[in-house]
Amino acid sequence: MDLDGKVALVLGGIKGIGKAVGLALAREGVKVAATYHDWLDELPRMQSDFAETGQAHLLINVNLRDTGKIDAAVRQVVGHFGCLNILINNIERGGWPVVHGPYSRDQWDLEIETTLRAKQWVFEAALPHLKASGDGCVINISSIAGIVGRSGPASYVFNEGYSAANRGISILTETWARLGAPNVRVNEIMLGLFETRHAEKTRGWTLLTDDQKKALIDHTLLGRTGKIVDVINAVRFILADAPYMTGAVLRLDGGYVLGGEGIAPMPEGVE
Protein backbone atom coordinates (compact mmCIF):
# COMPACT_ATOMS: atom_id res chain seq x y z
CA MET A 1 0.00 0.00 0.00
CA ASP A 2 1.27 3.44 -0.95
CA LEU A 3 0.49 5.45 2.19
CA ASP A 4 0.53 8.93 0.65
CA GLY A 5 -3.00 10.32 0.44
CA LYS A 6 -4.63 7.41 2.25
CA VAL A 7 -7.16 7.97 5.07
CA ALA A 8 -6.70 6.29 8.45
CA LEU A 9 -8.92 6.08 11.51
CA VAL A 10 -6.78 5.66 14.63
CA LEU A 11 -8.56 4.83 17.88
CA GLY A 12 -7.21 6.12 21.18
CA GLY A 13 -5.14 8.84 19.57
CA ILE A 14 -4.76 11.29 22.42
CA LYS A 15 -1.55 9.85 23.87
CA GLY A 16 0.80 6.90 23.96
CA ILE A 17 0.85 4.34 21.17
CA GLY A 18 -2.27 5.56 19.39
CA LYS A 19 -1.04 9.12 19.18
CA ALA A 20 2.46 8.10 18.10
CA VAL A 21 1.12 5.86 15.33
CA GLY A 22 -1.27 8.58 14.16
CA LEU A 23 1.49 11.17 14.01
CA ALA A 24 3.85 8.79 12.21
CA LEU A 25 1.21 8.07 9.57
CA ALA A 26 0.47 11.77 9.14
CA ARG A 27 4.16 12.45 8.51
CA GLU A 28 4.01 9.90 5.68
CA GLY A 29 1.16 11.74 3.98
CA VAL A 30 -1.78 9.89 5.51
CA LYS A 31 -4.90 11.87 6.39
CA VAL A 32 -5.52 10.81 9.97
CA ALA A 33 -8.74 10.82 11.97
CA ALA A 34 -7.86 10.19 15.62
CA THR A 35 -10.36 9.58 18.39
CA TYR A 36 -10.12 10.70 22.00
CA HIS A 37 -12.36 10.73 25.05
CA ASP A 38 -10.42 10.52 28.33
CA TRP A 39 -7.27 12.33 29.47
CA LEU A 40 -8.54 15.69 28.25
CA ASP A 41 -5.57 17.44 29.84
CA GLU A 42 -3.59 15.95 26.93
CA LEU A 43 -5.90 17.48 24.29
CA PRO A 44 -4.01 20.78 23.70
CA ARG A 45 -0.80 18.83 23.11
CA MET A 46 -2.61 16.40 20.81
CA GLN A 47 -4.01 19.31 18.80
CA SER A 48 -0.67 21.06 18.47
CA ASP A 49 1.25 17.89 17.61
CA PHE A 50 -1.10 16.96 14.79
CA ALA A 51 -1.15 20.54 13.53
CA GLU A 52 2.65 20.53 13.36
CA THR A 53 2.58 17.66 10.86
CA GLY A 54 1.06 20.02 8.30
CA GLN A 55 -1.16 17.16 7.16
CA ALA A 56 -4.96 17.22 6.95
CA HIS A 57 -6.38 15.58 10.06
CA LEU A 58 -9.54 15.22 12.12
CA LEU A 59 -9.75 14.83 15.90
CA ILE A 60 -12.99 13.22 17.09
CA ASN A 61 -14.24 13.28 20.67
CA VAL A 62 -16.27 10.10 21.03
CA ASN A 63 -16.88 7.61 23.82
CA LEU A 64 -16.49 4.32 21.98
CA ARG A 65 -17.97 2.43 24.91
CA ASP A 66 -21.25 4.02 23.81
CA THR A 67 -21.70 1.79 20.78
CA GLY A 68 -24.62 3.88 19.55
CA LYS A 69 -22.18 6.66 18.66
CA ILE A 70 -19.77 4.57 16.62
CA ASP A 71 -21.59 4.62 13.28
CA ALA A 72 -21.79 8.40 13.35
CA ALA A 73 -18.08 8.70 14.15
CA VAL A 74 -17.12 6.54 11.18
CA ARG A 75 -19.52 8.44 8.91
CA GLN A 76 -17.90 11.67 10.11
CA VAL A 77 -14.49 10.42 8.95
CA VAL A 78 -15.76 9.33 5.55
CA GLY A 79 -17.79 12.51 5.15
CA HIS A 80 -14.76 14.65 5.95
CA PHE A 81 -12.16 12.85 3.85
CA GLY A 82 -14.30 11.04 1.26
CA CYS A 83 -13.11 7.51 2.00
CA LEU A 84 -11.46 5.22 4.55
CA ASN A 85 -8.45 3.01 3.79
CA ILE A 86 -6.94 2.12 7.18
CA LEU A 87 -8.29 1.27 10.62
CA ILE A 88 -5.89 1.14 13.57
CA ASN A 89 -7.99 -0.61 16.22
CA ASN A 90 -5.96 0.55 19.21
CA ILE A 91 -8.41 1.41 21.99
CA GLU A 92 -8.00 -0.56 25.22
CA ARG A 93 -8.21 -0.45 29.00
CA GLY A 94 -6.16 -2.77 31.16
CA GLY A 95 -6.58 -3.09 34.91
CA TRP A 96 -3.34 -3.86 36.70
CA PRO A 97 -3.89 -6.14 39.72
CA VAL A 98 -1.22 -4.10 41.53
CA VAL A 99 -3.34 -0.97 40.94
CA HIS A 100 -6.94 -2.17 41.27
CA GLY A 101 -6.66 -5.24 43.47
CA PRO A 102 -9.58 -7.70 43.29
CA TYR A 103 -12.01 -7.09 40.48
CA SER A 104 -15.08 -4.92 40.79
CA ARG A 105 -17.88 -5.38 38.29
CA ASP A 106 -17.32 -1.86 36.98
CA GLN A 107 -13.63 -2.51 36.31
CA TRP A 108 -14.36 -5.80 34.54
CA ASP A 109 -16.98 -4.13 32.33
CA LEU A 110 -14.64 -1.21 31.57
CA GLU A 111 -11.91 -3.55 30.34
CA ILE A 112 -14.20 -5.74 28.22
CA GLU A 113 -16.20 -2.87 26.75
CA THR A 114 -13.15 -0.81 25.82
CA THR A 115 -10.64 -3.48 24.82
CA LEU A 116 -12.96 -5.87 22.95
CA ARG A 117 -16.50 -4.63 22.38
CA ALA A 118 -15.57 -1.22 20.96
CA LYS A 119 -13.23 -2.83 18.42
CA GLN A 120 -16.03 -5.06 17.15
CA TRP A 121 -18.48 -2.29 16.40
CA VAL A 122 -15.90 0.09 14.95
CA PHE A 123 -14.84 -2.65 12.54
CA GLU A 124 -18.48 -3.37 11.68
CA ALA A 125 -19.10 0.29 10.85
CA ALA A 126 -15.82 0.70 8.96
CA LEU A 127 -15.84 -2.48 6.88
CA PRO A 128 -18.10 -1.29 4.01
CA HIS A 129 -15.92 1.79 3.55
CA LEU A 130 -12.69 -0.21 3.75
CA LYS A 131 -14.03 -2.59 1.10
CA ALA A 132 -15.10 0.32 -1.10
CA SER A 133 -11.53 1.64 -1.03
CA GLY A 134 -10.41 -1.50 -2.89
CA ASP A 135 -7.27 -1.82 -0.74
CA GLY A 136 -8.20 -1.58 2.92
CA CYS A 137 -6.16 -2.58 5.93
CA VAL A 138 -7.09 -3.16 9.57
CA ILE A 139 -4.55 -3.53 12.36
CA ASN A 140 -5.82 -4.76 15.71
CA ILE A 141 -3.58 -3.86 18.63
CA SER A 142 -3.70 -6.52 21.35
CA SER A 143 -1.64 -7.80 24.27
CA ILE A 144 0.21 -10.96 25.21
CA ALA A 145 -2.18 -10.97 28.17
CA GLY A 146 -4.35 -13.03 25.81
CA ILE A 147 -1.70 -15.77 25.97
CA VAL A 148 -0.13 -15.54 29.43
CA GLY A 149 -3.06 -14.21 31.46
CA ARG A 150 -2.52 -13.52 35.16
CA SER A 151 0.48 -15.81 35.60
CA GLY A 152 4.16 -15.67 36.52
CA PRO A 153 5.75 -12.22 36.79
CA ALA A 154 2.78 -10.79 34.85
CA SER A 155 0.44 -11.70 37.71
CA TYR A 156 0.82 -8.10 38.91
CA VAL A 157 0.22 -6.65 35.43
CA PHE A 158 -2.59 -8.49 33.62
CA ASN A 159 -6.07 -9.04 35.03
CA GLU A 160 -8.39 -11.81 33.85
CA GLY A 161 -10.90 -9.52 32.14
CA TYR A 162 -8.19 -7.77 30.15
CA SER A 163 -6.63 -11.12 29.30
CA ALA A 164 -9.95 -12.58 28.14
CA ALA A 165 -10.62 -9.50 26.02
CA ASN A 166 -7.26 -9.86 24.30
CA ARG A 167 -7.80 -13.55 23.65
CA GLY A 168 -11.04 -12.48 21.98
CA ILE A 169 -9.25 -9.99 19.75
CA SER A 170 -7.23 -12.78 18.15
CA ILE A 171 -10.44 -14.63 17.30
CA LEU A 172 -11.86 -11.47 15.76
CA THR A 173 -8.70 -10.95 13.72
CA GLU A 174 -9.13 -14.30 12.00
CA THR A 175 -12.87 -13.88 11.45
CA TRP A 176 -12.47 -10.34 10.12
CA ALA A 177 -9.73 -11.46 7.72
CA ARG A 178 -12.25 -13.85 6.19
CA LEU A 179 -14.96 -11.18 6.07
CA GLY A 180 -12.67 -8.59 4.52
CA ALA A 181 -11.01 -10.72 1.86
CA PRO A 182 -9.90 -10.11 -0.78
CA ASN A 183 -10.03 -6.31 -0.63
CA VAL A 184 -9.33 -5.74 3.08
CA ARG A 185 -6.37 -7.20 4.97
CA VAL A 186 -6.80 -7.70 8.72
CA ASN A 187 -3.81 -8.36 10.96
CA GLU A 188 -2.92 -8.07 14.63
CA ILE A 189 0.04 -6.71 16.54
CA MET A 190 0.24 -8.40 19.93
CA LEU A 191 2.24 -6.28 22.35
CA GLY A 192 4.31 -7.26 25.34
CA LEU A 193 5.49 -4.75 27.92
CA PHE A 194 5.81 -1.31 26.32
CA GLU A 195 6.97 1.95 27.84
CA THR A 196 3.52 3.57 27.76
CA ARG A 197 1.60 0.31 28.11
CA HIS A 198 2.48 -1.88 31.09
CA ALA A 199 5.99 -0.50 31.59
CA GLU A 200 8.06 2.49 32.69
CA LYS A 201 5.74 5.36 31.80
CA THR A 202 2.67 3.92 33.51
CA ARG A 203 1.27 4.24 37.02
CA GLY A 204 1.26 0.48 37.55
CA TRP A 205 4.98 0.15 36.89
CA THR A 206 5.74 2.65 39.66
CA LEU A 207 3.86 0.41 42.12
CA LEU A 208 5.96 -2.67 41.39
CA THR A 209 8.93 -3.49 43.59
CA ASP A 210 12.39 -3.58 42.04
CA ASP A 211 12.31 -7.37 42.27
CA GLN A 212 8.96 -7.53 40.48
CA LYS A 213 10.23 -5.28 37.69
CA LYS A 214 13.39 -7.36 37.37
CA ALA A 215 11.35 -10.55 37.12
CA LEU A 216 9.40 -9.10 34.19
CA ILE A 217 12.56 -7.99 32.38
CA ASP A 218 14.32 -11.29 33.10
CA HIS A 219 11.32 -13.12 31.59
CA THR A 220 11.79 -11.10 28.37
CA LEU A 221 14.42 -12.67 26.10
CA LEU A 222 15.67 -9.32 24.80
CA GLY A 223 16.06 -8.01 28.33
CA ARG A 224 14.14 -4.76 27.92
CA THR A 225 10.68 -3.31 27.52
CA GLY A 226 9.37 -2.15 24.16
CA LYS A 227 9.65 1.33 22.69
CA ILE A 228 6.90 3.12 20.81
CA VAL A 229 9.08 3.21 17.71
CA ASP A 230 8.94 -0.60 17.70
CA VAL A 231 5.17 -0.40 17.28
CA ILE A 232 5.37 2.32 14.63
CA ASN A 233 7.78 0.21 12.58
CA ALA A 234 5.52 -2.85 12.85
CA VAL A 235 2.46 -0.85 11.79
CA ARG A 236 4.28 0.57 8.81
CA PHE A 237 5.50 -2.89 7.79
CA ILE A 238 1.99 -4.33 7.78
CA LEU A 239 0.53 -1.37 5.91
CA ALA A 240 3.23 -0.79 3.31
CA ASP A 241 5.30 -3.94 2.95
CA ALA A 242 3.07 -6.96 3.65
CA PRO A 243 0.42 -7.07 0.88
CA TYR A 244 0.13 -10.88 1.10
CA MET A 245 -0.39 -10.94 4.87
CA THR A 246 -3.84 -11.26 6.39
CA GLY A 247 -5.32 -13.03 9.41
CA ALA A 248 -1.88 -13.05 11.03
CA VAL A 249 -0.64 -12.13 14.50
CA LEU A 250 2.69 -10.32 14.78
CA ARG A 251 3.84 -10.86 18.36
CA LEU A 252 5.94 -7.90 19.43
CA ASP A 253 6.96 -8.83 22.96
CA GLY A 254 10.74 -9.06 23.04
CA GLY A 255 10.35 -12.77 23.68
CA TYR A 256 8.34 -12.51 26.90
CA VAL A 257 6.06 -15.42 25.99
CA LEU A 258 9.09 -17.65 25.35
CA GLY A 259 11.17 -16.36 28.23
CA GLY A 260 9.82 -18.59 30.96
CA GLU A 261 11.58 -21.68 29.67
CA GLY A 262 15.33 -22.11 29.26
CA ILE A 263 17.12 -24.68 27.14
CA ALA A 264 18.97 -27.53 28.84
CA PRO A 265 22.51 -28.28 27.71
CA MET A 266 22.70 -30.75 24.83
CA PRO A 267 23.36 -34.24 26.27
CA GLU A 268 26.29 -36.22 24.95
CA GLY A 269 24.04 -39.02 23.72
CA VAL A 270 24.82 -42.75 23.73
CA GLU A 271 26.27 -43.28 20.24
Span 106-138, pLDDT tens digits: 998 999 999 999 999 999 999 999 999 999 999
pLDDT > 70: percent of the chain: 100
Residues in the chain: 271
- What pLDDT is stored for residue 260 in this prediction? 81
Percentages helix, strand, coil for the chain (3-state, rounded to 5) are 50, 15, 35
pLDDT at site 201: 92
pLDDT value at position 94? 80
Contact 75, 46 (CB under 8 A): no
Residue 95 in this model has a pLDDT that exceeds 90? no
With contact defined as beta carbons under 8 Å apart, do 31 and 59 qualify?
A: no
110-149 CB burial, b ≥16 within 10 A, e <16: bbbbbbbbbbbbbbebbbebbbebeebbbbbbbbbbbbbb
What does the alpha-carbon distance between residue 165 and residue 154 come to, in Å, rounded to a whole number? 16
pLDDT given for residue 127 in this prediction: 98
Q: Model-level pTM? A: 0.95
CB crowding 165-195: b at 16 or more within 10 Å, else e: bbbbbbebbeebbeebeeebbbbbbbbbbbb
Start-to-end Cα distance in the chain: 55
Average of per-residue pLDDT across 181-208: 95
Higher pLDDT, 10 or 1: 10
d(CA 192, CA 196): 11
